[in-house]
């Protein structure tokens, strides 16, 4: 969604309207929550594939991203958008 400003900017004597994108905080947060699932999926696929990174590092990244996914109820948001 866009919000037009009443102000104009003059460039080479050519006035033109500027528009500023209005960002909805709830929409951004919902997108963030969904994006966290990709991180989780990437770490699980990396573990399944094997030999991409050290096993200990992979397990620590899975632990970290799992906690974040859980804290933000990322899988719960899927029912809202599917």
Task: Give pLDDT, residue 3.
Answer: 38
Task: Give pLDDT, residue 28.
Answer: 87
- Domain total of the chain: 1
Gap between the Cα atoms of 81 and 24, Å rounded:
16
Mean of all residue pLDDT scores within the chain: 79
Is residue 56 a part of any domain in this protein? yes
Instruction: Report the share of the chain in percent with pLDDT over 90.
Output: 50
Is residue 4 a part of any domain in this protein? no
Write out the residue range of the structural domain in which residue 30 sits. 24-81
Is residue 14 a part of any domain in this protein? no
Is residue 73 a part of any domain in this protein? yes
Mean pLDDT, residues 47-69 taken together: 93
Is residue 13 a part of any domain in this protein? no
Task: Give pLDDT, residue 77.
Answer: 85
Q: C-alpha angle 76/68/48, rounded to 5°?
A: 90
In this predicted structure, the answer to whether residue 48 has a pLDDT above a threshold of 90 is yes
Is residue 17 a part of any domain in this protein? no
Is residue 31 a part of any domain in this protein? yes
Is residue 12 a part of any domain in this protein? no
Cα→Cα distances 2→21, 24, 41, Å: 5, 11, 34
């Amino acid at each position: 969604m866009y919000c037009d400003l009443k102000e104009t900017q003059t460039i080479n004597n050519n006035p033109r309207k500027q528009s500023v994108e209005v960002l909805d905080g709830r929409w951004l947060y919902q997108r963030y929550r969904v994006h966290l699932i990709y991180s989780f999926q990437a770490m699980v696929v990396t573990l399944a594939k094997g030999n991409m990174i050290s096993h200990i590092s992979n397990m620590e990244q899975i632990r970290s991203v799992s906690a974040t996914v859980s804290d933000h109820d990322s899988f719960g948001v899927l029912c809202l958008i599917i």
